[in-house]
Amino acid sequence: DAGVTQSPTHLIKTRGQHVTLRCSPISGHKSVSWYQQVLGQGPQFIFQYYEKEERGRGNFPDRFSARQFPNYSSELNVNALLLGDSALYLCASSFSGGVGSPLHFGNGTRLTVT
Amino acid sequence: QKEVEQNSGPLSVPEGAIASLNCTYSDRVSQSFFWYRQYSGKSPELIMSIYSNGDKEDGRFTAQLNKASQYVSLLIRDSQPSDSATYLCAVVMDSNYQLIWGAGTKLIIKP
C-alpha cells in the first residue's frame, strides 16, 4: 500500500518567491495536516484539513495557506518566502479528523530559501 | 515554560540496556500522548500512544503516563543500535485542542 507521498522532495527558492508543496494521503484517509520542522526542533503545526474543510490553523502568518481537494490530496502554499521559512515541511494523514488520531507522515519536502 | 519539554540529549545507552526517555507537559487536563521516532533525515513514525495512567507495553517498548505529575516516559528494553534516533513526545493540549510536540531526545545506542 502506498504511504503518504509528498512532492517535491527538495526545493531551492529565493527570498520573495512563492512555493507550492503537494501531498497525497494514504488511501482512505480523509485528514491531512501540515507541519514545519526546523533542525533540532519538533514539528510545528501549520494546518489541518478534514473532508476539504480547514479544521485547525497553527501560529503561522497569512503568507501560509493550504487547501484540500476532493480526492483528499492537499497543497501548502507559501508566499513572499523568507530565509526563516527554510525547513522540512511534513505532511501527515490520518483516517479521522480527530486531533488524537495517529499520524502517518510522508517523507517531507526540504525547502531551502536563499 | 514550554508546553512539552524533553531533554535534548544526546542520551547514550549501551546495547542491551534499558533506555529511559522522559517528557513533561504543561496542560494538566491533557488526555492523549504519543511517542514518535525520527531517524536522521527521515519523517517521524508512531511508536506508542497512551491515554490512561499507568504502563502500556508493546514489544520492547513501554510507555508510562503519570497525569498527576504531568509526565510521560518511554522505556526501551534490550536496546539495539537500530534504536538510535530522535524520540519525539507529542501531547494533545486540551486548552487549544492541538497536538504539541517536544523538541525530541536524541538517543544513541552504543554497540
B64-103 residue pLDDT tens: 999 999 999 999 999 999 999 999 999 987 766 678 899 9
- The more confident residue out of A22 and A102 is A22
Give the pLDDT of residue B27. Answer: 82
Contact between chains at A104 and B46 (C-beta distance less than 8 A): yes
Q: How far is B19 from chain A (nearest CA, A)?
A: 20
> Chain A residues with CB inside 8 Å of B31's CB?
100
Average pLDDT over residues B55-59: 97
> Chain A residues with CB inside 8 Å of B88's CB?
42-43
Q: How far is B80 from chain A (nearest CA, A)?
A: 23
Chain B CB within 8 Å of residue A10 CB: no
On whether the CB atoms of residues A48 and A108 are closer than 8 A, the answer is no
A29-67 residue pLDDT tens: 999 999 999 988 999 999 999 999 998 899 999 999 999
pLDDT at A111 over 80: yes
Strands B11-14 and B105-110: parallel
On whether the CB atoms of residues B25 and B71 are closer than 8 A, the answer is yes
Q: Pick from A61, A55, A110, A40: which is nearest to B99 by CA?
A: A55
> Chain A residues with CB inside 8 Å of B95's CB?
none
> What phi-psi label fits residue B11: left (phi over 0), alpha (psi between -120 and 50 degrees) or beta?
beta
CB atoms within 10 A of CB B9: 14
Query: Is-cis flag, bond preceding B10, omega within 30?
Result: yes
pLDDT at B53 over 90: yes
- Rounded distance, CA A31 to CA A102, Å? 11
